[in-house]
Structure 1
Amino acid sequence: MGRVANAGPEFTVVHQLRAVTMGLDLLGGEFAQRNGLHPTDLRALICLLDAARAGTETTPGWLGAQLKLNSAGTTALLDRLERLGLVRRTRDDTDRRRVLLAVEERAVALGEMFFGPMIGALVGMMRDFTPDEVAVVRRFLGGVAELVAERLQDG
């Protein structure tokens, strides 16, 4: 594949997206540092919160696959999060061999304290958009998420 010219309105969007990604990564790092977390711990909490919002049951194996961690790495991660009171492991009532994961309310409260004002501002900003504009933003971000997921699967 040849080199793509780095000009035009499309690249302005690419550069803006890169700047947003960098800024969010820095904010996530600040949140992790303030709360004694490793950046992977924050990614794990986000995965678990998103899964809970989607109604998806989560297991250590599922989480490890999401984060591309081996079993030992996943166990160490969950041990840290459990020790900090941010995640709990419970036995599945229907299959006692299976362990389910849940985010503790303490983790949600920490996240809301740090990220809540920015999320509120984002929601407020989106209220100035027409429904059609919101649909375009959602379509764009959905497409970006798909491209990133495909790239992650390709290794």
Structure 2
Amino acid sequence: MSNSNALLVALRQINRAIDLQSKKLEKETGQTTPQLLLLKELAKEGRAKPSVIAKSVHLSHATVTSIVDRLAKSGMVTREKSEDDGRSVDIVLTEQGRACVQNAPELLQEDFLVSFSKLEPWEQNLLVSSVQRIAVMMEANRLDSAPILEVGEIRP
């Protein structure tokens, strides 16, 4: 197999692994990867402002608002007036949301990051630069992306 074909096969395998994990996660939890990522972020403190969540998960405020709308409809979170400033709103994790986080399997990127962190620094740098180069070659470096391993658009 040529190097170019081997690379394309490896990219397809990565894409497939992400897709399968995303579908498994949604089937087991009823939540998409971005929704679960937000729930996990909220589980740290129990409540947070949408802007703080957006910054910590590297998504736009508008995307976080859409995801929160969907989570609120399913009873995973509520919106409450901020305890610090009555003019702003906090997103609050419900007991149902907390149970979802506790029972959810690890996100694919969490397992990946554990394995990645075990590599030597030179290996990490080599992988980062190689994958960044691939992103440029595919013109994917222009796309706004969060550090979430999920196929397709970040759905609210």
TM-score normalised by L of structure 1: 0.53
Say yes or no: does 1:46 pair with 2:37: yes
Distance 1:140 1:30 in 2: 29
Q: Secondary structure at the match of 1:95?
A: coil
Query: What residue in structure 2 maps to residue 4 of structure 1?
Result: none
Matches within 5 A, 1:59-78: 65-66=62-63, 69=66, 75=69, 77-78=70-71
- Contact persistence 1:58–1:100 (CA under 8 A): no
Q: 1:74 to 1:130 in 2, by over 3 A?
A: closer
Question: Contact 1:91–1:98 (CA<8 Å) still a contact in 2?
Answer: yes
Q: Does 1:98 align with 2:106?
A: no
Provide the alpha-carbon RMSD of the alignment: 4.5
Number of aligned residues? 131
Q: Which amino acid aligns with 2:25?
A: F
- Bigger relative contact order, structure 1 or 2, given CA contacts below 8 A and separation 6+? 2
Residue-by-residue CA offset, 1:130-151 (whole Å, 9 max, x unaligned): 2210222244456749x65733
- Give the alignment of 1:4-153 within 5 angstroms: 9=3, 12-37=6-31, 39=32, 42-47=33-38, 49=40, 57-58=52-53, 65-66=62-63, 69=66, 75=69, 77-81=70-74, 83=75, 86-102=76-92, 104-111=97-104, 114-115=105-106, 119-120=110-111, 123-124=114-115, 127=118, 129-140=119-130, 144=135, 148=140, 150-152=142-144
SS in 2 for 1:151: coil
**Partner amino acid, structure 2, of 1:46:** L
The more displaced of 17-26 and 114-123 is: 114-123
AA aligned to 2:143 is R
Q: 1:35 to 1:98 in 2, by over 3 A?
A: same
The amino acid of 1:78's aligned partner reads L
Cα 1:49–1:11 change in 2 (3 A) is: farther
Distance 1:48 1:22 in 2: 25
Letter in 1 for 2:100: A
Please identify which structure carries the higher helix content. 1
Q: Give the conservation status (yes or no) of the 8 Å contact 2:78–2:92.
A: yes
**CA 1:118/1:100 → structure 2, altered by over 3 Å: closer, same or farther?**
closer
Normalised by the size of structure 2, how large is the TM-score? 0.53
Taking structure 1 as reference, are residues 101 and 17 closer, same or farther at Cα in structure 2, changes over 3 Å only?
Answer: farther
Identity %: 15
Contact kept, 8 Å, 2:81 with 2:89, in 1: the verdict is yes
